[in-house]
Amino acid sequence: MIDVMKMFKARMYMKRNEPFLFSWHAYVGYELDLFKAFDRPMTKFDVADALQLDKDLLNQWVTVGVSIGHLKEMDRSRYKTWNAWKLPKPKGDNSSGVLLKEMMELHIPTLLSYPDMMRKQNRLHYDEEKHAPTVAETSRLLEVLALPKMAKRLKDTQAEAVLDIGCGEGGYIKKLAERFPNTHFTGIEISPSVTKVAKKLTKNNSNITIENADLWKYKPDQPQDMVMMNNVIHYIDLKKRQELFNELASWLKTKGKLSIITPIAGDTDSPPFANVFNSFFSSFDNLYRLPEREELAEWGDRAGLELLNIQTVIKEGGWYVVHYEKKS
């Protein structure tokens, strides 16, 4: 009976982890542009030769791809990308593949370090420069999903001056700046390498200014009609979050708007990813847990900000846009 139970449990865990194979295969295909390479029927040899890849490992990747339906075997030992609608687009096309990249290269390795961290009672250290480009690209994808909500807020506000804190590569404010040419957008970004990309991307937009700056050392030249802060709160120590809200409120005109994109801490009824995010952030000595809804309302109220509403961006991941208005 014991052996039967062991086999049952082993099979159960294999079955539960089967979805990981789809994510792993899609990640490899995205990272090496393999789905693009097999966009039309190709032999494994020709793709390996063209991309200078290990032939045996590519062969195994193709075999898995056929078995899970990402690839289809055609005639004359050629293979073609199949069910493309399920797969990430190529790089540089607001691809969902960047979420896979962040998950595979940052989130999963971190979570697998849990036993060692718990034994040693020691945290990892988040390397900002190493992960900044991937995280910035992920933020840009999330911001695309939030864009309609932010555009409506800008239209209702009729803002002339907008400040974006943690602007990443600048793609977000570039889209907004092109939609609202009479509004001037200032983006600040702490990473020098990401700032460089943002400046290059927005160099032809006369109503955008990009600055490499730490928000704790930054002061806008004038009161802002609207301040946006995207994917920044988890970098802020819990003890300094009220101070952060006070500072942001001081940058706003009366009736000015503050909009924050952030994951929000889940509870037992929340989707699993909303909860596991806190496990991820808690793994680093320089990242901090996610805010709770009650805290967001409290921090805003103490800073003289009225919480207007909380809108969903990605329910499965617990991502939201939180809107405030500065009280009179």
pLDDT value at 114 more than 70: yes
With cut-offs at 50, 70 and 90, classify the pLDDT of residue 273: confident
Mention every residue, 6+ apart, whose C-beta is less than 8 A from residue 164.
Answer: 172, 173, 185, 186, 187, 188, 227, 228, 229, 230
pLDDT of 316: 67
CA–CA separation, 96 and 111 (whole Å): 21
Distances (CA, A) of 292 to 150, 249, 274, 278: 22, 19, 11, 11
**pLDDT exceeds 80 at position 38:** yes
Residue pair 242/303 in contact (Cβ under 8 Å)? The answer is yes
Whole-number Å distance between alpha carbons of 314 and 321? 10
pLDDT at 52: 97
pLDDT at 17: 81
- Measured distance between the N- and C-terminal CA atoms of the chain, rounded to whole angstroms: 72
Name the amino acid, one letter, at 128.
E
Please tell me the pTM assigned to this model.
0.79
Summarize pLDDT for 277-312 with one digit per residue, the tens.
888 988 999 999 999 999 999 999 999 999 999 988
pLDDT at 147 over 90: no
Q: What is the average per-residue pLDDT within 186-214? A: 92
Phi, psi angle pair for 117, to nearest 5° = -65, -40
pLDDT at position 11 = 79
Q: Of the spans 48-57, 193-202, 212-221, which averages the highest pLDDT?
A: 48-57
Q: Residues 4-18: what's their mean pLDDT? A: 78
pLDDT-based confidence at residue 121 (cuts at 50, 70, 90): very high
Does residue 176 surpass a pLDDT of 60?
yes
- Please say if the pLDDT value at position 1 is more than 70: no
d(CA 297, CA 268): 21
Tokens representing 194? 């990401």
Residue 63's contacts (CB-CB under 8 Å, 6 or more residues apart) are none
Q: Is the pLDDT of residue 137 over 80?
A: no
Q: How many CB atoms lie within 10 A of CB 311?
A: 17
Question: What mean pLDDT is reported for the chain?
Answer: 89
Residue-level pLDDT at 92: 72
Mean of the pLDDT values across residues 80-109?
A: 87
In terms of C-beta distances under 8 Å and separation of at least 24 residues, what long-range contacts does 40-43 make, across chains too?
40/80, 41/74, 41/75, 41/78, 41/79, 41/80, 42/78, 42/79, 42/80, 43/76, 43/77, 43/78, 43/79
User: Which SS3 state, helix, strand or coil, does residue 311 take?
Assistant: strand
Decide if 197 contacts 222 (C-beta within 8 A).
Answer: no
Whether the predicted pLDDT of 138 surpasses 80: no
Helix (H) or strand (E) holding 84: none
Distance of CA 14 to the CA centre of its chain: 29
Which of the four pLDDT bands, split at 50, 70 and 90, describes residue 275?
confident
Q: What share of the chain is helix, strand, coil (3-state, %, to 5)?
A: 50, 20, 30
Give the pLDDT mean for 153-159: 85
Phi and psi angles of residue 235, each rounded to the nearest 5 degrees, phi first: -90, -10
Query: Which of 129, 121, 128, 179 shows the shortest CA–CA distance to 150?
Result: 179
How far is the C-alpha of 107 from the C-alpha of 281, rounded, in Å? 9
d(CA 303, CA 251): 11
- Could you tell me the pLDDT band of residue 18, with boundaries at 50, 70 and 90? confident
Does 194 score more than 80 pLDDT? yes
In DSSP terms, 42 is beta-bridged to 79
Q: Is the model more confident about 206 or about 278?
A: 206
